[in-house]
Amino acid sequence: MYDNLDLGLINKVAIVAGGGSANEEIGNGRAAAILLAEAGCKVLVVDKNEKSANQTVDIIREKNGVAMSVGGDLTIAGECKKVVNLSIKTWGRLDILDNNIGIDSRLSVVKESEEYWDRVMDINLKPIFLMSKYAIPEMINSGQGGSIINISSISATRPKGYTVYSASKGAVISLTKAMAVDHGKNGIRVNCVLPGPVYTPMVYSKGMSEELRSIRKRASLLEIEGNAWDIGKAVVYLSSNWSKYITGQNLVVDGGCSYSSRPRG
């Protein structure tokens, strides 16, 4: 019965913002781009680091997928408009926008600087605002609606002291819900994915001991470790026909960490 799953993604066009990775490994954006391509999408991979975006495209093409890359600073309106226009010029449509861009902050409001507060808010929120600003009209013009997936974090709903980061990710949830209300009438669904402490290049590129990795694993009720593929699969689901009656929601992908009293590291 599951031999011919129809996700409705064949020949759909997806933009993955932040589709590179912190190194040559698989981060959330890269995993989403690869899996969307495997599901039949044509994928435009965007990253400030164009070399990293190119690496994602290379992986997709090795698997006979369709993808292209573009570099861009998505905190700049003109860059976002350029990216959306490229997808329309190349493939004539836009169906899916996956917003993955983000940085962290591990300090309290007492210790964090005003300058870094501004930087976190600028990077974690502005690309979602600007990419959606230019993507939504194209989704409306297609007459077929679309799906926007924003990446938040369980730190937004269960903070562990990453105060500025948690505030920015909470704002992502509020922005998602408001956009869902604004554009549901246009057939555009807007949802959030809230990753838990998954093991990704953004995390381990800064160094992580095996002891800390074990603590993070035990924080899950399942006592297993999540990774970028788990987040990418959630993005594919929210992009697909299988979630056609879902909008304005938070999909938590954390192995049950939200319900555990164990430390997350």
pLDDT in tens, 22-51: 778 899 999 999 999 999 999 999 999 999
> What's the mean pLDDT in 202-229?
82
Active-site residue, 165 included: yes
Q: What is the pLDDT of residue 3?
A: 46
- 116, 134, 162, 165: the catalytic one is 165
CATH of span 13-253: 3.40.50.720
Taking only the tens place, the pLDDT of each residue in 137-177 is: 999 999 999 999 999 999 999 988 889 999 999 999 999 99
| pTM, 2 dp | 0.94
Task: Identify the DSSP state of 243.
Answer: G
Residue 205: pLDDT band (50, 70, 90) is low
Q: What is the pLDDT of residue 218?
A: 86
Strand 146-151, strand 66-71: pairing: unpaired
Residue 250: its H or E element = strand 250-253
Under 8 Å CB-to-CB from 67, ≥6 apart: which residues?
33, 37, 42, 43, 44, 45, 56, 57, 60, 61
